[in-house]
Amino acid sequence: MCSFYYAGSVRVFFPTALAIALSACSRAPDPPAQESPPAKVVMKPTASPPDVEKPAASPLNEDTRRKLVVFGDSLSAGYGLAPGESYPDDLQRKLDAAGYAWHVVNLGISGDTTEGGVARLDAAVALKPSVAIVELGGNDGLRGLPLEVTRKNLEAMIAAFQGAGAKVVLAGMTLPPNYGVPYIHGFEKIYKELAAARHCTLIPFLLADIVTPDLHYLQRDGIHPTAEGAEIVAGTVLRAVKPLLGAPDAKR
């Protein structure tokens, strides 16, 4: 499921009218002799105030922290949650609290597949992240797409991020039992085999810590985490990425 935000701009023009008033006067009769003629008042233009040099506009404060990109689907986008409640938002707060000078960039798009990820890969790589979490493939599995297509697309994403100098964390997924044992096992193997072949960190199942018998940490759809569940997922991710971050900057 996708949500779209349309931003439009309206240009409003305000024309300015300039009115020029012209007046004419007739010659008045000479004043009586006993009256002194009115003093002639000469209006001198006032001097313009000296130009005051305005301070130069200060440049925008650019975020110089190292980037951690979350490249995913609705699980990363925070589907069904209020702004600021997704697990990447929680991850940012946890990093800040621990003294890590890292900027989490959430590139999660609801409904995205691995094909969609490849299509927008260049823009993500252009951010030059130091760490990239690849969290895609779940929608491929739910749609029953060919496993070789999912594998090929995930490998392309991993290779692109690694080629740009990023350390990659691959977030694994699984599928409901009704997809059949052969397909589910083949799907799960994609993540394990790619992590081993491409030497990247693997989270075997991103939602492992919130799948409970009562599904307390999942929304009613049984797929997406609640706000409380998202915070737990952020802890799962933090444990995986922490060895890649170096020491907290507060301790350097």
**Catalytic residue numbers?**
74, 221, 224
Q: How many CB atoms lie within 10 A of CB 190?
A: 23
Identify whether the C-beta of residue 103 lies closer than 8 Å to the C-beta of residue 131.
no
Identify whether the C-beta of residue 79 lies closer than 8 Å to the C-beta of residue 135.
no
183-189-191-194 Cα dihedral, nearest 10 degrees: -130
CA 248 to CA 37: how far, in whole Å?
Answer: 88
Structure tokens at 96: 């800040």
Give burial (CB, 10 Å; 0-12/13-18/19+) of 35.
exposed
Q: Say what angle helices 181-198 and 147-163 make with each other, to 10 degrees.
A: 20
